Structure 1
Amino acid sequence: MAQTLTGTMLAATVPMVRTLNLEFVETQAERAVLRMPDQVDFHNHVGGPHAGALFTLAESASGAVVLGAFGDYLSRAVPLTVRAEISYKKLAKGPVLATAELERPAAEVVAELEAGERPEFGVRVTITREDDGAVTGEMAIVWTLRPHS
């Protein structure tokens, strides 16, 4: 699967992306989809991906959408995770996908940054089994753009 520019950037700078062999299926300004292949080394006691691997997949998908939306502002601010909450709904077996979407328009966040504020914004991530599309988890994650001093 071909890496996007955002995927190449994240794989180069975030070691866990490489460790989990995450694949960047889609990266746009307001949506990103990442795929984690089925890997026995990252299974839990019931044969699915470990909760920590699923968390990392979802957080990485949120990072991809953040870079897609705000990559042009990296010279002015650094994106940072503020907090995250994840819910595990069903057993995830086989390859899984994480789909991340911004919760509000990127233009609103940029306007706050340009006004000298440190904006916070939410990203919603849905984790699904690749084979049947069943939702196996959901993450709510809040990011900020911290202006450079």
Structure 2
Amino acid sequence: MGGHDGPRPAFGVVSGLEYQRAIIDGVIPVQPFPALLGLRLRSIGEDGSAVCEVTCRPEFANSAGRLHGGYLSALMDCATAAAVHSQQPAGVGSPHIHASYRFVASADYRSQLTVTARPVHIGRSVVHATVEVRTGSGRLIASGETIHKVRRTGPPDSTGR
């Protein structure tokens, strides 16, 4: 792990930007699902721009050896989640409520990919984000947009929410 002194940052306790940067710095482990996908968050900007790298594996390919659309969708889902979460204060989460993805080219399972995501509208109740998946040579494979609900992650309020 990183050379962090003190308690580890926890989801919902620190800002989303602090949490995502703690993952990059190795202070806290990558969440299990992005780790399973081979997705590594490499940078996150003050504006929420997230850059991820992916080393694909054969188990994410279809019978023709091309990356499965479900796999690419999961990569885009994780990248937009990191980008959007980075713009939230402590105690606020932002789960997906809508996603729309387009697949414009195929890629071999041996491909190195870069997934970039960024919030394009941050409102009080929803956040919109965009995402692209490109090969190491810069060829666009997939793109999309997501919408996320802004919600408190603390204990339920008096209405049970």
Counterpart CA distance in 2 for 1:28 and 1:10 is: 20
Which of 28, 34, 41 is the aligned partner of 2:45? 28
Structure 2 letter corresponding to 1:99: T
Deviation at 1:60, TM superposition (A): 0.8
Structure 1 letter corresponding to 2:82: A
Deviations 1:19-77 (A, max 9, x none): 1121112112320011110211211222222211111111111111122211xx232x2
Which of 86, 96, 102 is the aligned partner of 1:87? 102
Counterpart of 2:118 in structure 1 is: 101
Structure (1 or 2) with the larger CA radius of gyration? 2
TM-score normalised by L of structure 1: 0.77
Question: CA contact under 8 A between 1:21 and 1:36: conserved in structure 2?
Answer: yes
Question: CA contact under 8 A between 2:85 and 2:93: conserved in structure 1?
Answer: no
Q: Name the one with the larger helix percent.
A: 1
Is 2:146 the counterpart of 1:135?
no
Aligned-residue identity in percent:
18
After TM superposition, the structure 1 = structure 2 runs for residues 1-149 of structure 1, keeping only pairs within 5 Å, are 4-7=21-24, 11-12=30-31, 15-29=32-46, 30-70=48-88, 73-75=89-91, 77-93=92-108, 94-104=111-121, 106=122, 109=123, 112=124, 119-130=125-136, 132-147=137-152, 148=154, 149=157
Question: CA contact under 8 A between 1:33 and 1:99: conserved in structure 2?
Answer: yes
Structure 2 letter corresponding to 1:123: A
Please provide the CA RMSD for this pair: 2.2
3-state SS of the aligned residue for 2:86? helix
**Which structure 2 residue ranges, 5 or more long, are not aligned?**
3-19
Counterpart CA distance in 1 for 2:83 and 2:33 is: 17
TM-score normalised by L of structure 2: 0.72
Q: How many residues align?
A: 131
